[in-house]
Amino acid sequence: MVGVSRNKSAKKIGVLALQGAFASHQKVFHKLSVDAVEVRTPTDLEKVDALVMPGGESTTMSQLLESSQLFDPIKNRLKDGLPVFGTCAGMILLAKNILDGRDDQLSFDAIEIDVQRNAYGRQIDSFEAEIDIDSLDQPFHAVFIRAPRIVSLGSQVQALAYCGDDVVLAQQDNILVASFHPELANDVRLHELFLKGV
């Protein structure tokens, strides 16, 4: 029985695996010796204590959240304080309001931000920048891919990093969001930060 109880208290991390860059997030957790399981069904969701929503295509993810019947269960877990890290499209899914979204696009309204999809213009659809993050000693290499811009933040939202004038990393209670792709930076520090809060 010793073996059974050994990991009882370990928190289980899930990565929403409907579409997008979920495998890259799993690799980062693997580097941190943390197993991150794929969440595709309500049953998968029940087994996890925290969730990553990856980058990808938020309109597609919105549709898949409905067809997989994951939308409502996730919404309920968010209300109960499920820690979630949303990156890029994942941030769009968690936002209160989406600008330039599809009319039928859903979001969880879990963090009081308005985000504008694909907001950084054509020429710089994708770009990279060194950003300073509160609580990290060294800058973080942030990769922006057709990134959403946070265009307004509510008073409960803490800005944790800027790129130029834009907030690109933000937190409200159990919700952490990044407009860039931390899983592509070959740097585990943001995932580590998320795990600390779990």
Active site residue 88: yes
DSSP summary character for residue 1: -
Spatial distance between the Cα atoms of 183 and 44, rounded to a whole number of angstroms:
22
What are the backbone dihedrals phi and psi of residue 53, each rounded to the nearest 5 degrees, phi first?
Answer: -110, 115
Which of 25, 77, 96, 117: binder of ligand GLN (CB under 6 A)?
Answer: 117
Which of 7, 118, 156, 158: binder of ligand GLN (CB under 6 A)?
Answer: 118
Q: How big is the CA angle at 29 (ends 25 and 33), to the nearest 5 degrees?
A: 160
Active site residue 30: no
Does 133 participate in binding ligand GLN (rule CB under 6 A)?
no
CB of 44 to ligand GLN, least distance (A): 21
When the beta carbons of 46 and 100 are compared against ligand GLN, the nearer one is: 100
The bridge status of strand 111-116 relative to strand 36-39 is: unpaired
Active site residue 112: no
When the beta carbons of 47 and 102 are compared against ligand GLN, the nearer one is: 102
Does 92 participate in binding ligand GLN (rule CB under 6 A)?
yes
Does 76 participate in binding ligand GLN (rule CB under 6 A)?
no
DSSP summary character for residue 125: S
Does 88 participate in binding ligand GLN (rule CB under 6 A)?
yes
Does 102 participate in binding ligand GLN (rule CB under 6 A)?
no
Does 146 participate in binding ligand GLN (rule CB under 6 A)?
yes
